[in-house]
A and B are shown apart, each in its own frame.
Chain A
Amino acid sequence: MLYREAGQFKTTYAEDMAIFPISQDRIALAVLLGIAFIGVPLLATFHIWPFGSDYLLWAILLPFLILALAAIGTNILVGYCGQISLGSGAFMAIGAYSAYKLATGVHIPLAWLGFAVSIPPLPVLASILLGGLIAAGVGILFGIPSLRIKGLYLAVATLAAQFFFDWAFLRIPWFTNYAPSGSVNAPALDFFGLIVQSPIERYLLCLLLLTLMALLAKNLVRSNLGRQWMAIRDMDIAAELIGIRPLYAKLTAFAVSSFIVGVAGALWAFVYLGSWEPLAFSIDRSLQLLFMVIIGGLGSIMGSFVGAAFILIVPIMLNLIPTELGVPLSTETITHFEFIIFGSLICYLLIKEPHGFARLISIGKEKLRLWPFPY
């Protein structure tokens, strides 16, 4: 009887169009945001449990925030627009390396033309956002084949993009500013004089960006553009006949998705890793993001969060629980178990519930709305 919309009559369409039309959901979200923005920083500052050490922030919360952002980006392309992509890792890399180049100053010697293009180092925030924009541009370029090829074939094309960029960032020394080891260091995280350094500062930076971008993404998917994406996903022929241009719908999905994934890549490199190698954005990352989206829920912003949390927490639980029980598992066994769990879960979800955990949650809510009277 607690979760109920009874008595909450929406008198205008504007109210009906709110993100969370049911007030219990709004309260839950407010509480969650309160905990994330105020509770966690307070606990962390005073080192109160579970923030006694920085483990929770570093090992769980920070990667969760950044990968949830990348999962939202992936979900826009795969879940909303129906264009399967195995190249999300590459677009994270493009965001990361573009931001790195912009933050350290770009110098392109065009010797044969007799001059060189030089851009002085840009501020970190500008670099990160421009890195996202460059990823969006490359995304549009790699989205063009999607007008001709579909499904599995498109997936293979995006896989090619993944391998191409893996190679480019590994082999073209210009991208890494000729670092002999191929590994590069992020610039100091200076935001208008505010230096982001401690784990909790990093956490707040990512939380802020994630919240903003999740809101913008949610707005997009419930506006006309989002409906165009879903229309293309569900039936492209009918979409065209109501005046949707597949070119525009698909390329905007590639652009928006790559922008978000690119920003997430820049954050992953600058804020989480600090120094990194091309391996940080390999095909493994692409697959991980795809798993998050499938498990969390295709075509659901909330699902992107759930999926990211699940994929990050399972390995930790696999480590923790057997240790607590006195039968610690080896790292290898844990990796095997991970694959078994994710693999079978994905098979199950793809067959039974393509909308993932997000759909299961909303089914649960529907039941709860009726509870305790099952009709």
Chain B
Amino acid sequence: MRVRDTNEILLQVEGVALSFGGVRALKDVSFNVRKGEIRAIIGPNGAGKTSMLNVVNGFYHPDRGTITFKGRTRDRMQPFEAARGGIARTFQNVALFKGMSALDNIMAGRTLKVRRGLLWQALRCGPALREELEHRHRVEEIIDFLEIEAIRKVPVGRLPYGLQKRVELGRALAMEPDLLLLDEPMAGMNLEEKEDMSRFIVDVNNQYGTTIALIEHDMAVVMDLSDRVAVLDHGVKIADGTPDEVKNNHAVIEAYLGVAH
């Protein structure tokens, strides 16, 4: 049940600036994400896309500007608060827990939903065991959905890159987020893996109504998947609109072809 036609704003980023020493990664960027849509952020290397996501989920604190998520405005947030508020993400360079199995990685994504404390978990009986089983069932659904049944017990460090990306998506899904941030979910994948991943993204959006903001370099994928596209270049938003609008935008073409102004 897709709700992309509502105009309700889930996330509003307003006038955000961020710099690292002398490098100004973001200069006064504003954009929004509507509830239920798939929103793409594109731009050349070093444009500030990853920095943008990091600001949204509290990993970086912006120098200026505000973030309004689900109606609450703040100028900074702690990563774990963002997680509790319903923001999940994956990373450009997979950030899995290397020593743990695929199953445990995804189970770890359930942390915020766990109710029983230390003593119950140590006893692991009655309500604690029931709760653990409930989480396991939920996680197994995700494992089925992502078609990674065969590798659930494998330590993720031993998995090929494409599967690691899938497990990482699974871990984010286990959080049952309202907003899912995906940083180049298809980087380094072959065509078939990209197709699988695209399918998962669309299905997540359709089945669970999860709002998705994704960074991607593959234009074909972006044009296919997304409802709206924002384009960053040198820390500035140079275009924003439907895939078609963006495709024909002069500033965008120049930024990508590297034509001098």
Please give the residue numbers on chain A whose beta carbons come within 8 Å of chain B beta carbons, in ascending order. 13-14, 17, 216-217, 219-220, 222-225, 227-228, 230-231, 233-235, 237-245, 252, 256, 299
Q: Jot down 18 A-B pairs with beta carbons below 8 A, ordered by A.
A: A13-B136, A17-B133, A223-B121, A224-B108, A227-B100, A227-B111, A228-B111, A231-B108, A235-B96, A235-B97, A240-B80, A241-B57, A241-B79, A241-B83, A243-B175, A244-B111, A256-B118, A299-B99
Say yes or no: B108 contacts A227, CB within 8 Å.
yes
Inside 8 A of A14's CB, which chain B residues have their CB?
129, 133
A242 and B169 alpha carbons, distance in the complex (Å): 12
Q: Return the contact of B99 from the options A228, A234, A243 (Cβ within 8 A).
A: A234
Say yes or no: B136 contacts A243, CB within 8 Å.
no
Q: How far is the CB of A300 from chain B (nearest CB, A)?
A: 11
Given contacts A227-B108, A252-B118, 16 further A-B contacts (CB under 8 A): A13-B137, A13-B140, A216-B122, A219-B124, A223-B128, A224-B108, A224-B135, A228-B111, A231-B97, A237-B95, A238-B91, A240-B80, A241-B80, A242-B175, A243-B175, A299-B99
Q: How far is the CB of A23 from chain B (nearest CB, A)?
A: 17
Tell whether B184 is near chain A: CB-to-CB under 8 Å.
no
B interface, by DSSP: helix, strand, loop or mixed?
A: helix
Minimum CB distance partner of A226 in chain B: B121
Say yes or no: B95 contacts A228, CB within 8 Å.
no
Given the interface contacts A13-B133, A228-B111, A233-B99, does A242 sit within 8 Å of B118 by beta carbon? no
Q: In residues 100-144 of chain B, which contact A (Cβ within 8 Å)?
A: 100, 104, 107-112, 114, 118, 121-124, 128-129, 132-133, 135-137, 140
Q: How far is the CB of B89 from chain A (nearest CB, A)?
A: 6
Tell whether B199 is near chain A: CB-to-CB under 8 Å.
no
A245 and B79 alpha carbons, distance in the complex (Å): 9
Q: How far is the CB of A215 from chain B (nearest CB, A)?
A: 9
Q: How far is the CB of B113 from chain A (nearest CB, A)?
A: 9
Tell whether B200 is near chain A: CB-to-CB under 8 Å.
no
Q: How far is the CB of A25 from chain B (nearest CB, A)?
A: 15
Inside 8 A of A17's CB, which chain B residues have their CB?
132-133, 136
Max count, chain A CB within 10 A of own CB: residue among B88, B98, B99, B129: B99
A230 and B175 alpha carbons, distance in the complex (Å): 18
A292 and B161 alpha carbons, distance in the complex (Å): 34
Say yes or no: A219 contacts B80, CB within 8 Å.
no
Minimum CB distance partner of A216 in chain B: B122
Minimum CB distance partner of A82 in chain B: B99
Inside 8 A of B114's CB, which chain A residues have their CB?
224
A32 and B129 alpha carbons, distance in the complex (Å): 26
Say yes or no: B111 contacts A230, CB within 8 Å.
no
Say yes or no: A241 contacts B89, CB within 8 Å.
yes
Q: How far is the CB of B135 from chain A (nearest CB, A)?
A: 8
Given the interface contacts A220-B121, A224-B114, A225-B121, does A230 sit within 8 Å of B80 by beta carbon? no
Inside 8 A of B118's CB, which chain A residues have their CB?
220, 225, 252, 256
Q: Return the contact of B59 from the options A219, A233, A237 (Cβ within 8 A).
A: A237
Say yes or no: A234 contacts B132, CB within 8 Å.
no
Say yes or no: B123 contacts A227, CB within 8 Å.
no
A174 and B108 alpha carbons, distance in the complex (Å): 46
A230 and B128 alpha carbons, distance in the complex (Å): 20
A1 and B87 alpha carbons, distance in the complex (Å): 49
Given the interface contacts A17-B132, A220-B121, A245-B80, does A234 sit within 8 Å of B100 by beta carbon? yes
Instruction: Give 1 or 0 for each of B48-78: 1 = CB within 8 Å of chain A CB.
Output: 0000000001010000000000000000000
Q: How far is the CB of B72 from chain A (nearest CB, A)?
A: 17
